[in-house]
Amino acid sequence: MTVRRVPWAADVEAVFARLAARRHAVWLDSAGGPAALARWSVLAAEPAAVIGHEGGVGRIVRPDGGRTGEPARNPFDLLRTVLANLGRPDDDAAAHLPYGPGLYGYLSYDLAPYVEPKAGLSARRDIPLPDLWFGLYETVLLLDHARGEAFLVGSDGPAAEAILDALAARAAHPDGQHSTAGQAGRGTRDADLVCNFTRQEYEAAVARVREYIAAGDIFQVNLSRRFTVAAPPGDVARQPADLYVRLRRANPAPYAAYLGLGEGRAVLSSSPELFLDLRGGRIITRPIKGTRPLRPGDEAFNARMRDDLLASAKDRAELVMIVDLERNDLGRVAEYGTVRVTEPRTLEGYAAVYHTVATVEGRLHEGRDTTDLLKATFPGGSITGAPKVRAMQIIAELEPTCRSVYTGAVGYLGPPTPSEPAGRCTLNVAIRTLIAAGREVHVQVGGGIVADSVPEAEFNETTDKARAMLAALGLVV
């Protein structure tokens, strides 16, 4: 593996526009947020293989369409096998870089029964995406936003050629005029929008969760609704790469991502939430609970919102509840006594909202690996509820459709090395995430339901969240 310094991509959107035309382009995009979180971005294309799990069967597919190895039934066993086969010697040149060649993709929420068989899933599965999708990228473009440095990391071949071609095109067109990314498309009509819950159905589901809480069955459940926008021919929603650029401009986030799955399918995320980071055996997770609006330029309003959020006993209690859950999950695979809460509650500002966030850390037990960590913690507690397994059962009972990628995880899985035998990973919680599937775009939004939740208010909150996501993209709801 080689590390080569390359010209800084001052207009990364233009580089992406060129790269997005290549097979299975991906972009882990630190588009915005606190500087300490939004330092590194990764772009790649032309994977050497695609690892997928669908219909209960996992497969590895080469670029020519050929399949490698025997089908695997368990997706986590498949990931472990692939990562073990990618294991490589330590490389001093790449040791200081947090990302490199490896697996980039997603785990959908619908993998939950492979972690906890009692969890269950909603009866209707209607989004035609695999439950798991990762590309094996042998070369990546790594951007260090703090230093303004760019590196080509990996080996020569089609992937390196694709990246160098994108960088050369940017140099030839420094104003980015060759790119159509981010240009406005016409909005959709009201008739093009459908939801998997009516108002009456969602409010009844919230009321049912409150009954479970009153009975002592559960403390909190994250209940969501999904909006589907039908995209007429020529609409911006038919162009996932352009749609992603609009999303990152409207809602920049430190754990944003674009995954080009091919055939008009893509995952577009503007998530602010870190699910897992594993480096050198150190595990970090940063659950979010508590949100208030932010208005750029209106400091009086913003000060009121910050004070209101920090003073909210309800939001504080929800975060404490999820922190306890995350501590328990990490404790399954961490060395005894290493799990600790390093930040109980801190306020962070993003493009349009404030959040309260906690940080929980631990050290992975010797002999455990990335796959063990995933099986101990997936899906994240902040988007399920507490107790976690019972919350997932109630989600399966009350939500009419499977979640697919929404509230799963998007990011990077790195292979083991002698100095890091467990491997590496950085994964977001796939909230504020759009799924482009052919002529439809799906937007799912939810919130934590607790004892004092008001069904009408919870419905209105999900509507506002969906409207804001789509309106920021020029899609009228």
Q: What is the pLDDT of residues 374-409, one digit of tens each?
A: 999 999 999 999 999 999 999 999 999 999 999 999
| Number of continuous H segments (helices) and E segments (strands) in the chain | 11, 24
Give Cβ neighbours of residue 336 (< 8 Å, ≥ 6 apart).
none
pLDDT for residue 67 = 76
Q: How far apart are CA 251 and CA 269, in angstroms?
A: 10
| 2-188+229-281+364-372+404-438 CATH | 3.60.120.10
The torsion angle over the Cα atoms of residues 195, 199, 202 and 206, rounded to 10 degrees, is: 150
The answer to whether 425 touches 284, Cβ cutoff 8 Å, is no
The answer to whether 57 touches 427, Cβ cutoff 8 Å, is no
How is the chain split into domains, by residue range? 2-188+229-281+364-372+404-438
The torsion angle over the Cα atoms of residues 100, 101, 105 and 110, rounded to 10 degrees, is: -100
Q: How far apart are CA 241 and CA 313, in angstroms?
A: 41
Q: What is the mean pLDDT of residues 17-24?
A: 96
Q: Is the pLDDT of residue 187 over 60?
A: no
289 is catalytic: yes
pLDDT above 90 coverage of the chain, percent:
73
pLDDT tens digits along 361-376: 999 999 999 999 999 9
Tokens in use for 79?
């990931």
pTM of this structure:
0.94
Angle at 81 between CA 79 and CA 85, to 5 degrees: 115
pLDDT for residue 170 = 61
Query: Beta strand pairing status for 220-230 and 433-437?
Result: unpaired
Tokens in use for 1?
């593996």
Alpha-carbon distances, residue 179 vs 11, 29, 171, 187, 217 (angstroms): 11, 18, 13, 21, 53
With cut-offs at 50, 70 and 90, classify the pLDDT of residue 109.
very high
Q: Is the pLDDT of residue 234 over 80?
A: no
Q: What is the mean pLDDT of residues 194-210?
A: 95
User: Which of 13, 289, 420, 465 does the annotation list as catalytic?
Assistant: 289
375 is catalytic: no
User: Which of 13, 46, 138, 273 does the annotation list as catalytic?
Assistant: 273
